[in-house]
Structure 1
Amino acid sequence: MSTATVPAARQPTMSPVSKFGATHSLRRLPVQERSAARVRRMLDAAADLIEEVGYDRLSTTAIAQRADVAIGSVYQFFGDKRSLAEALSQRYIDLYFERLAARFDAEPPADWRGGVEAAIDEYVQMYRTAPGFRVLHLADAIDPGRADAVTTGGDVIADQILAGLAQRFGIGGDDELNKTVTVAVETGQALVRLAFRRDPEGCSASIAEAGDVVCDYLARRLP
């Protein structure tokens, strides 16, 4: 598997709100740049604290203190720490696809297998470099327990991969391919989590196995 990576960015370049439409994590959208900057600081603080103490010990008070904002500012935009974690997960989905697109532009994969290997490798790099990423499960970035939830984070990731397959390799989708890619995404995420449970830096054998398993599964539906 290739190990070439796009340099990690501490902050994504996008708005603090996910561009994939999952805005229910925010009570209100920041309109002014000053408000958007506060939200970015809150998300940065949440990421660092999740990395340091874990999600269970995370609190809105600690986030406010770390971000140097009033606790009222936190509740102005987020209902609770779950909403903050969801927004951070959505932000990381955006960052992941920004990095993957930049990687493909710099080094276009020859075929879909190369694209899948690059996608897994970039996901692994996010595990290693993005604070709190390994604690957050992007498949749960959109809370399926909410009444207004119609998709999950895994669905969002699968949709983007399907769009990439069509754009870069001319592979059209149907319902069966949609299901196949969704299963592949969930499987790949689970195997990468296993690799990092076995080794904090990521078990290289398990990561390689993740690529093989996902590619072999997709080969049943892709040319």
Structure 2
Amino acid sequence: MLDACAEIVDDVGYEGLTTTLLAERAEVAIGSVYQFFPDKRAIVQALTLRNIEAYLQRLNDRFASGDFAHWWDGVDAGIDEYICMHRTVPGFRTLHFGDVVDVRLLDESRDNNAVIASELTKVLVERFGIPDEPRLRFALQIAVEAADALIKLAFRRDTAGDDNVLREAKALIREYLHRHVDPDAQHRADPRPDDQRKA
């Protein structure tokens, strides 16, 4: 049913999705749909959760097979996988991580992108051993929001994703994280003595 939901969203968008249409596409009785999902919002929530699991699995696979010189290369990989899902995963270009339905679809206390940033933080901390500090989590949340907006722009400009916009998105995110998270970059950017920086 989730596969059918993704196909329908690609065809007619979230607004066009109905439980009746889903039952027809999935070739199941309407009662079978309601056995698992009370409404279309619940269906999309389940599809979104599946997409998040797929995204995190893609990241883990990339980290396991890739040779990353620094943790921000892992961020690049995260952006690459998000772009790849836009291009290859049915329904993802429309639903993303559920924000079309509800910006707090995944967690009532946080925006969807905050959930993604939190998961990305966990992966980066575990893979690269960087300190799990508040500034890292905050900077990654900002980076996720910015990357999300620019990637959506790229796919509005070109159904395959405007490569110029995607390149600029990656450059912008990398520069931002260099300045706000990487201690060495902060030290180089601030000529003041250490005691004045700490003041």
Q: Same fold (TM over 0.5)?
A: yes
- Out of 46, 50, 56, the position equivalent to 1:87 is 46
Partner Cα distance (2:21, 2:27) in 1: 10
Per the alignment, residue 47 of structure 1 pairs with: 6
Shift of 1:139: 6.0
Shift of 1:89: 1.1
Partner Cα distance (2:169, 2:7) in 1: 28
Fraction of identical pairs, as percent = 46
Partner Cα distance (1:142, 1:46) in 2: 14
Per the alignment, residue 208 of structure 1 pairs with: 167
Structural RMSD (CA): 1.9
Partner Cα distance (1:119, 1:191) in 2: 14
Per the alignment, residue 197 of structure 1 pairs with: 156
- Out of 140, 153, 172, the position equivalent to 1:181 is 140
Amino acid at match of 1:110: A
Moved over 6 A (4+): none
Q: Give TM-score, length-normalised by structure 1.
A: 0.75
Shift of 1:164: 1.9
Shift of 1:90: 1.2
Per the alignment, residue 128 of structure 2 pairs with: 169
Q: Which piece of structure 1 moves more, 100-109 or 197-206?
A: 100-109
Unaligned runs of 5+ in 2: 183-199
Does residue 1:150 correspond to 2:109, yes or no?
A: yes
Per the alignment, residue 189 of structure 2 pairs with: none
Unaligned runs of 5+ in 1: 1-41
CA contact (8 A) 2:139 2:181 kept: no
Greater helix share, 1 or 2? 2
Does residue 1:117 correspond to 2:117, yes or no?
A: no
Amino acid at match of 2:99: D
